[in-house]
Amino acid sequence: MPVKLKPWIAIRADGDHVIGTGHVMRCLALAEVAIQRGFSCRLLCRSIDPYMAERAVAIGVNILQLSAPPEPPSSLYEHSGWLSVSEVTDAQQCTEALMPFIAQFDAPRFIVVDHYALGAPWHIQLRTMAPVLAIDELNDRPIAPDWLVDQTVGKPNDAYGHLTPDYTHCLLGGDYALLRPEFAKVAEKIGRCRSDIPNVLKILVTMGGVDEMNISAQVLEWLGLLKGQLHMDVTVVASATSAHLRSLQQSSRRTCYPSQLIVNADNMAELMAEHHIAIGAAGTTAWERCALGLPSLNVELAANQQAISSWLVTMGVSINLGPVAMLSQAALCNALLDIVHEPVRYQQMVAAAFELVDGYGTGRVLDTVLT
């Protein structure tokens, strides 16, 4: 007879130098709010960034490491290579990993999955244990969860119609952005507004948890070319596991303007509130910047960020610097100068960002799933 303890949630996500950390990050945002509501959470993963693992443990998430002998790579989906095993094997392993907890504590209230290499077969098998909540934005493969969260602003309501069964409930757009509670709190603290840019422009550079191509260092170098045109103070946020951390530290010390490097920042909301403009990846942190009304110059570090970046431009909250392979010093510097010299446009971007994401999306998702 299962022991009746607090309700619990199972989560399946990975995060490393190939996958990035955004998938685990938004799952942890959901877990944090769920834990505050009395749930316990268990994260099943094959790979996880050490800092993300520390954060998971710090908020009370239990980590279950999945392992199996590597299998020949699958080509079923575009991102199947993210798994070292087949989708079927992954589903079987997750089922086996969860069974002891189900026997002891009863079934989880629901299972969260955030993985581009997992689709309908995985969802269908895990639904035999509990309802499934999928987090995705690619609409590039058949999926079959009970709920789908796609926080991409402007995603058409019928984007998944041909890929999901009739029972799937789609939660689309910025109202469902999965952010940690601190972002809504800080947004309220600053009154959901920003002053005009002062004489010294504070720039926040945040290229996600991996920055495999060391774009942050390149940005620091190019910003130096604006000496004499802008007075600026630059903060770069990086992960301790970055392969380029030492190089980035050297680049930060060599700048001809005030700069600082923060490793494993645990106060991103406050940092975003303190800065006037961000230069960053168009991934998960793009929604965080919107919640703090922070105008951005976005860089597409991965193909899946193209749609996000384009929509953010359409909504008037950012400027798209394009794919990382085409990033140029001229595009970066000209875009930055344009915003600084157009205070009306700057305030329009601020207002549009606040309007797009209010920071309460995580709670809305939980409310929907638990109703």
Positions of E strands within the chain: 8-13, 40-45, 61-65, 110-114, 132-135, 147-150, 169-172, 200-206, 231-238, 259-263, 277-281, 296-300, 318-323
Using alpha carbons only, give the angle 109, 140, 297 rounded to the nearest 5 degrees: 95
pLDDT of residue 4: 58
Residue 58: exposure state from Cβ atoms within 10 A (0-12, 13-18, ≥19): exposed
Residue pLDDT, tens place only, 258-307 = 999 999 999 999 999 999 999 999 988 999 999 999 999 999 988 888 88
Contact predicate 250/357, CB 8 Å: no
Which single residue is written with the structure tokens 């939980």? 366
Strand order in the sheet with 110-114: 61-65, 40-45, 8-13, 110-114, 132-135, 147-150, 169-172
Name the CATH architecture for the domain at 8-172.
Answer: 3-Layer(aba) Sandwich (3.40)
Amino acid sitting at position 154 = G
Contact 169, 155 (CB under 8 A): no
Q: What is the pLDDT of residue 202?
A: 97
Sequence spans of domains, the chain: 8-172, 182-356
Nearest to 353 by CA among 300, 286, 299, 308: 286
Class of domain 182-356: alpha beta
Q: What is the CA radius of gyration of the chain?
A: 21
Q: What is the pLDDT of residues 72-111, one digit of tens each?
A: 878 899 999 999 899 999 999 999 999 999 998 899 999 9
Terminus-to-terminus CA distance in the chain, angstroms?
A: 26
| pLDDT value at residue 226 | 95
8-172 and 182-356, same CATH topology: yes
Q: What is the pLDDT of residues 154-176, one digit of tens each?
A: 788 889 999 999 999 999 999 99
